[in-house]
Amino acid sequence: MKPRIGITTSPSVHEDRFLEALDRTYVTAIVRAGALPFILPVLEAEDAQDAISCVDGVLFTGGGDVDPARYGAVASPHVDGLDAARDAYEIALADAAAAAGLPMLGVCRGAQVINVAFGGTLVQHLPDVSDLSHREKDRWAEPVHPVRVSLDSCLAGVVERELVGVNSLHHQAVDLVGRGLRAVGWAGDGTIEAIEGLGHLRVLGVQWHPELLSAEPGHDALFGWLRNEAARGRTAEAPHDVVLAEAVSFGAVRAAV
């Protein structure tokens, strides 16, 4: 059987009807990688464990900002798209996936959610700290700047290059890296553009949108990594890793805020 990848969604409203929105390109990327997509609507945080039991890996997708209260900060005037229910559920999903030893791939907001789940913080508005434009909405399907990848990283082995051309559709980014994670990719201004897990924590998180860059080298490989890791099955050793145990514990506290 093909590995099953759970894909998170964005609650939305269309013509006064409540929807779970998901850009089709995420589904296409998972199918192209050789896995089966399973759509994960936003549920209660306590349902995350049962949801995780049904899949072999998780793709955390893009969307609105994570509430700064989740990482102990006061919201900037530029923060938008907050959804408390989605934050709580996705942080609980990250905790449950880590405890079960499942692989996780975070895209844009998804990378930020994973980082916050493990005790990290975010830069709330990049224009306040950088002159580099990180939100080029009109160029969503093309590389707009390079990301330098650490050569000793898992990410480098996946994309098979030190410089990756990426699109840029965000105004926030990882600031303090969460426990059990490390920064492995940077934009020219020093903004963290990629994170990955340490030890048994099977995590890749990228600030760009690889699902929109399938024609560019290295991007489809990220979904291939998730598929391959999911096919390996659950890693029973993961909960026994000391750093991971601390991160999971911290994330559980954050999810309860």
241 phi and psi angles, rounded to 5 deg: -70, 130
**209 part of the active site:** yes
- Set 134, 145, 171, 209: catalytic member: 209
**14 part of the active site:** no
What pLDDT shows up at residue 96?
Answer: 98
Domain harbouring 172, CATH code: 3.40.50.880
- Set 108, 145, 170, 193: catalytic member: 108
Host domain of residue 51:
4-255
List 14's β-bridge partners, or say none: 17
What pLDDT shows up at residue 17?
Answer: 85
Q: Answer left, alpha or beta for residue 252, where phi above 0 means left and psi between -120 and 50 means alpha.
A: alpha
How many separate domains does the chain show? Answer: 1
What pLDDT shows up at residue 19?
Answer: 86
What pLDDT shows up at residue 251?
Answer: 44
pLDDT tens for each residue of the chain, 257 residues long = 899 999 999 988 878 888 889 999 999 999 999 999 999 999 999 999 999 999 999 999 999 999 999 999 999 999 999 999 999 999 999 999 999 999 999 999 999 999 999 999 999 999 999 998 898 989 999 999 999 999 999 999 999 999 999 999 999 999 999 999 999 999 999 999 999 999 999 999 999 999 999 999 999 999 999 999 999 988 754 443 444 444 444 443 333 33
Rg for the chain, CA atoms, rounded: 17
Amino acid, single-letter form, for residue 51:
A
What pLDDT shows up at residue 242?
Answer: 41
What pLDDT shows up at residue 171?
Answer: 94
- Set 90, 193, 211, 229: catalytic member: 211
What pLDDT shows up at residue 236?
Answer: 54
Q: Who's near 16: CB < 8 A, 6+ residues apart?
A: none
